[in-house]
Amino acid sequence: MDMRFSDAELAFRDEVRTFLREHLPDRLRRAARLTPGAFVDPAIYLEWQAVLHQRGWLAYAWPVEFGGTGWTPIQRYIFERECALAHAPAIGAQGLRMLAPVLCAFGTSGQQERFLPRILSGEHVWCQGYSEPEAGSDLAALRTRAVREGDHYIVDGTKIWTTNAHLSNWIFCLVRTDMAVKPQQGISYLLIDMASPGISVRPIGLISGDRELNQVFFDNVKVPVANRVGEEGQGWTVAKFLLEHERGGGCNAPGLLVALADLRARAATLQCRDAAPLIHDRDFMHRLAIVELEAQGMEMLELRLLGERAEGQSPGPQSALLGLYMANIRQAIDRLSLEALGMAGLTLETARPLYDPALAPPILSDEARAALPAYLNNRAWSIMAGTSEVMRTLIARTMLGLS
């Protein structure tokens, strides 16, 4: 049993570190640190995406035949970890990490040739059309209809919580093509051009002041059948493939550990309740230490699952814990960060981006300005991509056999 990286893996880690040191400007690091939402502005990530693409590292998780780097699962983990430690902007995940694996596995060669290069070049910016007002946790209850008419589908319905739909030019959607079968069996996966007539986008403001989410309306939208990925009625399988594909490869704990290290460092200078440095507040430091330990435990689980995956094994049911950990620990960090700031943390800066040099000087630091929006936005971590309630049921069922 050994948790150390091999010499070759360490050399790779150093290569990544050097690359980041030389090619990730402070300006982009600052933008990433001052982004309280889960998604960095496209202007920021497209710039970083171009740098990675030039190095040949953008499509690192793709199969080699489609432009992937051929990295092992451990190398992929090391790369993501170093990016998290360096505060690299998160790359827009929708096209790169959600659609691309699906196209590689289920797409026609025509679809692969058309769409994959444009994800890499940034020409196509994708958003995800899954959730609907009546289909959140129960996604199979989705109602957006796609009716076949010759070589087109006519799409009618609505998708909601579509992040950055207002900044995207393509959307991948789960739609209902068959009303007569079991819900999961009547779903298909469509790629839709956002410029198609009949599509409209309504922004939805968040309580943080961020404007990431939207509702997208489809009114008699013509979509070529050639834009369907996989067979008709195979959409649910296609979507679930992604969940399986991602299991055991997660690298989320390092980002949490970095945020905790930042908070611990700031505790030396932040005022606590009795106007002494926060580092003397035993109660706060104890609670901080507990959250750090939870994040370390999460990191160990990610490494164990990574090890299983690297050995070619199917990652165990403990992987169901990671979603719950991510929500709980992220939200605990946000609470502590807010608490540490006292009244200064209860200011709400609604101007965006927070890293705009023209913004009025904050009462405290840059990080202080992001703390409250982050707390408010990150309430979404226990809701989006699976609520914590659903996670717990999954854990009980798959890990504990309770049902």
Torsions phi, psi of 396, nearest 5?
Answer: -60, -40
Please give the residues from 139 up to 178 whose contact with another protein meets the rule CB under 8 A.
141, 160-161
Task: Name the minimum Å distance from CB 39 to another protein.
Answer: 14
392, 394, 398, 399: residue in contact with another protein (rule CB under 8 A): 392
Is residue 273 at the binding interface for another protein, with CB under 8 A as the rule?
yes
**Cα 48–Cα 211–Cα 165 angle in degrees, nearest 5:** 70
246, 311, 339, 367: which is the annotated catalytic residue?
Answer: 246
- Long-range CB pairs of 9-16 (<8 Å, 24+ gap) are 9/74, 9/75, 9/78, 12/75, 12/78, 13/78, 13/82, 16/78, 16/79, 16/82, 16/83
Is residue 128 at the binding interface for another protein, with CB under 8 A as the rule?
no
Q: Provide the Cα torsion 380, 92, 235, 387; round to 10°.
A: -10
Task: Name the minimum Å distance from CB 161 to another protein.
Answer: 5
Is residue 398 at the binding interface for another protein, with CB under 8 A as the rule?
no
Task: Name the minimum Å distance from CB 211 to another protein.
Answer: 10
Pairing mode, strands 170-176 and 228-229 = unpaired
Task: Name the minimum Å distance from CB 254 to another protein.
Answer: 26
For residues 353 and 197, give the distance between their C-alpha atoms in angstroms, rounded to a whole number.
31
Query: Is the CB of residue 100 less than 8 Å from the CB of residue 67?
Result: no
Nearest of 74, 61, 139, 133 to residue 101 by alpha carbon: 61
Is residue 42 at the binding interface for another protein, with CB under 8 A as the rule?
no
Identify the residue whose tokens are 């460092």. Answer: 265
Query: Is the CB of residue 24 less than 8 Å from the CB of residue 86?
Result: yes
Q: Which is nearer to another protein, 42 or 136 (CB)?
A: 136
Structure tokens at 1: 């049993």
Specify the stretch interacting with another protein by CB under 8 A; choose among 27-35, 53-61, 106-114, 379-387: 379-387
Is residue 38 at the binding interface for another protein, with CB under 8 A as the rule?
no
Task: Name the minimum Å distance from CB 291 to another protein.
Answer: 16
Query: Is the CB of residue 40 less than 8 Å from the CB of residue 90?
Result: yes
Structure tokens at 341: 């700031």
Q: Dihedral sign for Cα 205, 389, 241, 297, please.
A: positive
Q: Which is nearer to another protein, 46 or 140 (CB)?
A: 140
Query: Is the CB of residue 335 less than 8 Å from the CB of residue 390?
Result: no
Structure tokens at 335: 């609470």
CB burial class (10 A; 0-12, 13-18, 19+) of residue 148? middle
Pairing mode, strands 145-149 and 199-204 = unpaired
| Active-site residue flag, 212 | no
260, 380, 391, 395: residue in contact with another protein (rule CB under 8 A): 380
11, 276, 293, 300: residue in contact with another protein (rule CB under 8 A): 276
Is residue 329 at the binding interface for another protein, with CB under 8 A as the rule?
no
Is residue 377 at the binding interface for another protein, with CB under 8 A as the rule?
yes
Is residue 320 at the binding interface for another protein, with CB under 8 A as the rule?
no
Q: Which is nearer to another protein, 265 or 348 (CB)?
A: 348
Specify the stretch interacting with another protein by CB under 8 A; choose among 108-116, 173-181, 295-303, 343-351: 343-351
If binding means CB under 8 A, how many residues of this protein chain bind another protein?
48
7, 151, 283, 311: residue in contact with another protein (rule CB under 8 A): 283
For residues 223 and 226, give the distance between their C-alpha atoms in angstroms, rounded to a whole number.
8
Is residue 271 at the binding interface for another protein, with CB under 8 A as the rule?
yes
Task: Name the minimum Å distance from CB 280 to another protein.
Answer: 11
156, 342, 365, 394: residue in contact with another protein (rule CB under 8 A): 342
Residues carrying an active site annotation = 246
Contact set with another protein (CB under 8 A): 131, 135-138, 141, 160-161, 204-208, 213, 271-276, 283, 335, 338-339, 342-348, 350, 360, 363-364, 372, 376-377, 379-380, 382-384, 387-389, 392-393
